[in-house]
Structure 1
Amino acid sequence: MAELGAHLTAASAGDDRPSIFEAVAQDSLMAAVKPALQHLVKVLAESNPGRYGFLWQWFDEVYALLDLLLQQHYLASCSASFSENFYSLKRIPMGGGRQQPLATAGLPKRQHWKSLLLLVLVPYLKGKLEKLVASLREEDEYSIHPPSSSWKRFYRAFLAAYPFVNMTWEGWFLIQQLSYILGKAQHHSPLLQLAGVRLVRLSAEDFQALEKKWVGAPSAQTQSMKSRVQAGVRKALSGFAFSLSTGLSLSVFFLQFLDWWYSSENQETIKSLTALPTPPPPLHLDRGPGSVPLPQLKTLCPLCRQIRLNATALSTSGFVFCYRCAYGYVKAHQHCPVTGYATELQHLVKLYSPEG
């Protein structure tokens, strides 16, 4: 039985294809980095909402921008994404001859830009769609729309269809991986096929070319002052990129550990670490132009100026509003109307009077 499965991990002498375990491992590498970074930003935002709240609010966009810069550098210099280069893999165009280009030569422009968009844009859109589905499900449970509204019928139909769409997407990847294991396909992922490339292992010539590129061999065109300045700038940028990639390679295991530590098996630990005491009321508030003034009577809602109904506090600031007022404002603006602290719907805390 072991002999039948040996081809999954060991390739033949003339085969440059990575094994399915290498291919799946490099896919899961970047998938583990984002949740760990997201938790770090969440801890910072909860410890100091006024300073780091915007990072949590725009985390997806900031991460996509950093991911774009990182993948662009590795595709241009190593013909691979960050995780693929980490596992000593590279991308080559489909339909080329048996003579493979060196990793330092980069991909053709068409395959380069298609690879970059599929590496960055697809995970970003998939994450946004998952957040939209989660928010619609939460809104469906605590909906304030009339039962017969067209919007409610639309997003309920969308929520009913999403599991089947997601199952089709994941099944597409699973079928592609099974075809790759059986030798019926050259790609383990449909995204590689859409980009027009395939993964191969780095050769000895690739390692030598990459080493020469990182070391920075002296160029013959260093006679004029302008060429010397350009060479110095390129060398400084290459050194910075190499230092950044080395730091990411060393820290990726730490990020994976954080991802495991704050997983569902350790929710009790998370709650104990984030269960901070209630802060005292602010003595002085730097109110911006859009801030809401506080009413004179403490029983009035700062938004509608009426006696509070279904009193609800914002855990980020401690101020109390009507539930409908706080829900609508936070959903539209994502911050506290009094302090301006970054706030989400999960920070709404329903208050119950002792009489009721």
Structure 2
Amino acid sequence: MAEFGAHLTGAVQNTRPTYFEVIAQEGLMIALRPAMQHTCKILAERNPEGLGWLFRFSDELYTFLDFLLQHHFLTTTAASFSENFYGLKRIVDKESGQNSNSLTLPWKQHILSMFYLVVLPYIKIKMDKLFQVTKEEDVDGFLTSTSDPLTKLKKMFLFVYPIVHMNWEGAVLAYQMAYLFRKSDYHSPFIQLSGVKLSNLTKADMLNLMVKKETEIPNTTSWTSKLLIYCRRFLALSAQGISQGLSVAVFFLQFLEWWYASENEQSRVALTSLPTPLPPSCIKDKSVKFGGDICPICEKPRTNDTALSTSGYVFCYPCIYAYIKKHQRCPVTRYPTLHQHLIKLYPPD
């Protein structure tokens, strides 16, 4: 817990965190989601049929793990995972009656903090992806009809969401600037909406954390109570292991990425010389035509040829676009695939 060493010698309690501390703890959580998605993608590419669901549901998997992690740290340290990592805690206003040295948030602030830490980022990620997909549909002429109510709703979404997103980011920037120039005690609108503000951990807080760990010994004869206590202890140890191993894991992942990148650089060949991967055995039994100008999905002559960079197969653009939107994988090889992997082909007449 070296990050707490600076706070153990301080004489002033509940000091105001610096701007760089609050920005650093937010940047830590922003970096975790792409790392999780990258891990799921690697696992899915290793075993597309068995682990392809990890890539398709990576957002839901991350949100579930984030919920467990944030709930544990808010319950035990009155801080989110990243805030506790940088030696911060959440406190409420004095008029709420909470002890300033307490490491337990009131139930209302706990629920609000969980919503703004876990639920709201998940909603934003899904809205961003929905906006990108809808924008691509509009560019490719899928939203030309004006009589369909769903089409009108999508066009309205394309117009409204950029305004909402701009106001969202503008509000966050305004709060950060106000916090930087000491015009506000809140660095984020979501901190203020949660009814809390950030403060540095004090020496008394660290002692309280140590006492909590020493006194969490099951002294009851009920097996259900013991089971609950041991489950909580297991979750606490898991969360502590994630906290302590985060920096090492990030370095290790970066090292592996550099190592494999250097190996691939030495043995790199042109993509056009690579053979087209064979379909899995579960697809071979089906009467699907892969050769010539036949689309593997509709089994008709292709129109608006579009290739997948993940597998090399060519489809009709409407067919493959709709399939990826629903399944997020190649229909032939089952490789995890997104819309950015579509490559339109323009063969010479």
In structure 2, what is the Cα distance between the partners aligned to 1:58 and 1:101? 40
Seq. identity, %: 41
1:332 aligns with one of 322, 326, 330: 326
Shift of residue 229, structure 1, vs aligned partner = 6.2
In structure 1, what is the Cα distance between the partners aligned to 2:28 and 2:308? 36
**After superposition, what is the alpha-carbon deviation per residue over 1:120-150, rounded to whole angstroms, capped at 9, x for unaligned?**
0111111112212222222222223435455
Letter aligned with residue 127 of structure 1:
I
In structure 2, what is the Cα distance between the partners aligned to 1:233 and 1:165? 42
In structure 2, what is the Cα distance between the partners aligned to 1:228 and 1:67? 26
Shift of residue 281, structure 1, vs aligned partner = 4.0
In structure 2, what is the Cα distance between the partners aligned to 1:96 and 1:80? 18
Q: Map of 1:64-213 to 2, 5 A cutoff?
A: 64-94=63-93, 95-97=95-97, 99-103=99-103, 106-146=104-144, 148=146, 150=148, 151-152=150-151, 154-213=153-212
In structure 2, what is the Cα distance between the partners aligned to 1:229 and 1:46? 38
In structure 2, what is the Cα distance between the partners aligned to 1:233 and 1:305? 53
TM-score (norm 2): 0.78
- C-alpha change, 1:307 and 1:253, in structure 2 (3 Å) is closer
3-state DSSP class of the match of 1:188? Answer: coil
- C-alpha change, 1:277 and 1:186, in structure 2 (3 Å) is farther
Equivalence for 1:7:
none
In structure 2, what is the Cα distance between the partners aligned to 1:335 and 1:124? 22
Letter aligned with residue 102 of structure 2:
L
Bigger shift: residues 24-33 or 67-76? 24-33
Bigger shift: residues 232-241 or 185-194? 232-241
**After superposition, what is the alpha-carbon deviation per residue over 1:35-78, rounded to whole angstroms, capped at 9, x for unaligned?**
23323333443454334322221111111111111101101111
In structure 2, what is the Cα distance between the partners aligned to 1:273 and 1:69? 44
Say what the alpha-carbon RMSD is for the aligned residues: 3.6
Count residues in correspondence.
Answer: 328
- C-alpha change, 1:147 and 1:179, in structure 2 (3 Å) is same
For structure 2, the 5+ residue unaligned runs are 1-9, 259-264
Is contact 2:41–2:336 with CA below 8 Å preserved after alignment? Answer: no
In structure 1, what is the Cα distance between the partners aligned to 2:272 and 2:219? 60
3-state DSSP class of the match of 1:321? Answer: strand
Equivalence for 2:5:
none
Shift of residue 170, structure 1, vs aligned partner = 1.8
**After superposition, what is the alpha-carbon deviation per residue over 1:300-321, rounded to whole angstroms, capped at 9, x for unaligned?**
3333333223333334444433
- C-alpha change, 1:74 and 1:47, in structure 2 (3 Å) is same
Is contact 1:293–1:302 with CA below 8 Å preserved after alignment? Answer: no
Bigger shift: residues 161-170 or 311-320? 311-320
Is contact 2:14–2:202 with CA below 8 Å preserved after alignment? Answer: no
Equivalence for 1:57:
56
Equivalence for 2:44:
45
In structure 2, what is the Cα distance between the partners aligned to 1:147 and 1:225? 66
Bigger shift: residues 295-304 or 320-329? 295-304
**After superposition, what is the alpha-carbon deviation per residue over 1:186-228, rounded to whole angstroms, capped at 9, x for unaligned?**
21111111111111111111111212334x3474x63747476
2:246 aligns with one of 248, 256, 262: 248
